[in-house]
Structure 1
């Protein structure tokens, strides 16, 4: 899922924008059901803007984002086998029998990220031109991503047992973030979610942003994307699956509708979109994750999977309705800025840190399980301070047309 500013949002695990919005009263029902049109310059002033906290920032979203990232981190450290078991020198299910039973559900943090991403992308793109949207996404995603690539590639030479050595041609293609459709091995294991996010951005930009984000256009986009996902499942063709993302679309669509609820107020149509998105999303999550791990050590209960998916939608819905406005602690903003770089580095570098702390320094397993994320959060803060903050704005300025810059 990046730093959280309403102008630059991202999701999954993934980067997010600043979530700053004016604090105004709810719109009358008749206004909500038929909101006036809004163009690229923004919504009609007669329609109240989204409800935020005291300073207009939705800090609760920052908290949800770091929670989703920690869920995925716990899964990669204690909820699966594979390379992490080699770092622990045994299966986490044996080492942490109590924790691993919970950690195996942490992979659902990705679906949580996608719901949040739908919400914040709709919010950050409101009133923006297509060029503004494109520049904000590039400047938001790539600086931390490139830094993570360099760090993980360096680790692959220091400890190949944890991260396989990366070839030069693979590394160069990974710089584009297009390695997955190109059939090139991923340097960052978690970056498959970035490819999902990029496709979501492209669809939303082509069908909504380029004409100007409005209530009607977002609703139409949600409806058409839902139908396209259903038909893609019928055709069952790899190309349509790649374009429509039938398995991931419901989570983004639910987030988009929840932002409209946040901005314009409750509406039966919007809640209907959210409900359908949940029903479709929980089905995918159960069928994709209801099975034991490779060694049979991790088993997921389908009802728990459904519950976690429901809580993901409900958590973002609570933000949309203003129920979490009380969660306005400033440290949540800091946590939100660390989410994206932490998400990028936590998997492979986390396995590296576990091997060094547990097998090298001989620290107890549970202490290692606590220290590893803390150290990675510290590294994420360095990436944010030394890479994202100085490099992102420069990239955005460099991408502006010369006439605008002058």
Structure 2
């Protein structure tokens, strides 16, 4: 049997030979597809992962944990401080770096935009929905139950929610019902969910370079208008506090898939300009212990690193342990805050403060690995099978051809 590639080569050689034309290599596929950007040059990774992004995700989670444990003076409620005095007095050097760890959240948002666009390319809305459910909920359900149980066992540090509020937290939709989070870090999931809902529209239309660029521009415009429009629904959907970080991730993925061009650099530059303003707002209103210049510097270095990764300069990094590191990130983020700070509040004074923070971080890393292996993996498989079967029944009931089988 003759392979298709061999057949194509032979045909071209015969045609050129008969016509007396010079033999030249075929143009790249991107250049042959109408509507593809003229600078398209990088083939998509084709299912291969960017290992460095897994490493950056874990680094961002560790930054956030360090900030919560050693980079802020927790006095959210009277008598509810984690340490008995400001951390800047207990471990000043650690505090100086940890005070900027909150930027890990913005890093998460950028990576989320990149990864969601990459993982959804060529997928249907059903596949997008299933992938998000099996990725988000197993570890989240464990985290809600674990944190609730831990705060019952270690009372007096954080206020415990009522049972009905805890149960509503299992939906991940509590912010939409004005119900408190079991753990304060869950506020970021509300931003993620709104991003998924908006991006689902583009997935349903079919992801292309043009449509994703248009989505970035329209979402960015809505995010700029929302704060002054006086329309609560627009502000809720546009998510002006986080929109530009997700947009930066989308632009970076387009660079990775199609190559760089001036339009993508313009979107990324706009995201940086809007992001630095938002960083300044967070420093002024929430993160009083850090400075605007330092936070913008960290964010800028991160974006430049992501550009290098998107353009292929880090492709040689293929350390297998980075895959595991990336898998541990989400469970670590979910379980570290309320339980970890409650533990520190009880144990501070029993050992060196730096050793205590390092021990708590190490303990939650181990727990995160176990959650990934023993909770996420098996539960995700069950959910995927169940959801695919359910969608197959829907297809069959609606008379869609091919609905008798379970799509992959």
In the alignment, structure 1 segments of 5+ residues that lack a partner are 1-25, 37-45
How do 1:249-398 residues align onto structure 2 when only pairs under 5 Å count? 249-290=243-284, 299-359=289-349, 362-398=350-386
In the alignment, structure 2 segments of 5+ residues that lack a partner are 1-26, 394-403
TM-score (norm 1): 0.84
Distance 2:219 2:279 in 1: 19
Q: Say which SS state the counterpart of residue 213 (structure 2) adopts.
A: helix
- C-alpha distance 236-280 of structure 1, shift in aligned 2 (>3 A): farther
- C-alpha distance 159-357 of structure 1, shift in aligned 2 (>3 A): same
Contact preservation (8 Å) 1:259, 1:320: yes
Counting matched residue pairs gives: 363
Contact preservation (8 Å) 2:42, 2:259: no
Picking from 121, 128, 133, the partner of 1:133 is: 128
Distance 1:196 1:234 in 2: 20
Aligned partner of 1:19 in structure 2 is: none
Q: Say which SS state the counterpart of residue 87 (structure 1) adopts.
A: coil
Q: Say which SS state the counterpart of residue 177 (structure 2) adopts.
A: coil
Picking from 102, 114, 119, the partner of 1:119 is: 114
Distance 1:95 1:30 in 2: 60
Q: Say which SS state the counterpart of residue 49 (structure 1) adopts.
A: coil
> Could you list the per-position Cα deviations for residues 9-41 of structure 1 after superposition, in whole angstroms to 9, with x for gaps in the alignment?
xxxxxxxxxxxxxxxxx96996699418xxxxx
TM-score (norm 2): 0.84
1:229 correspondence with 2:223? yes
Deviation at 1:163, TM superposition (A): 3.0
- C-alpha distance 300-352 of structure 1, shift in aligned 2 (>3 A): closer
Picking from 47, 57, 61, the partner of 1:65 is: 57
Deviation at 1:97, TM superposition (A): 1.5
Q: Say which SS state the counterpart of residue 254 (structure 1) adopts.
A: helix
Q: Say which SS state the counterpart of residue 181 (structure 1) adopts.
A: helix
Contact preservation (8 Å) 1:115, 1:316: no
Deviation at 1:272, TM superposition (A): 1.0
- C-alpha distance 274-31 of structure 1, shift in aligned 2 (>3 A): farther
Aligned partner of 1:404 in structure 2 is: 405
Deviation at 1:185, TM superposition (A): 1.1
Deviation at 1:232, TM superposition (A): 1.2
- C-alpha distance 292-221 of structure 1, shift in aligned 2 (>3 A): closer
Distance 2:249 2:269 in 1: 11
Deviation at 1:57, TM superposition (A): 2.3
Give the superposed CA RMSD. Answer: 2.4
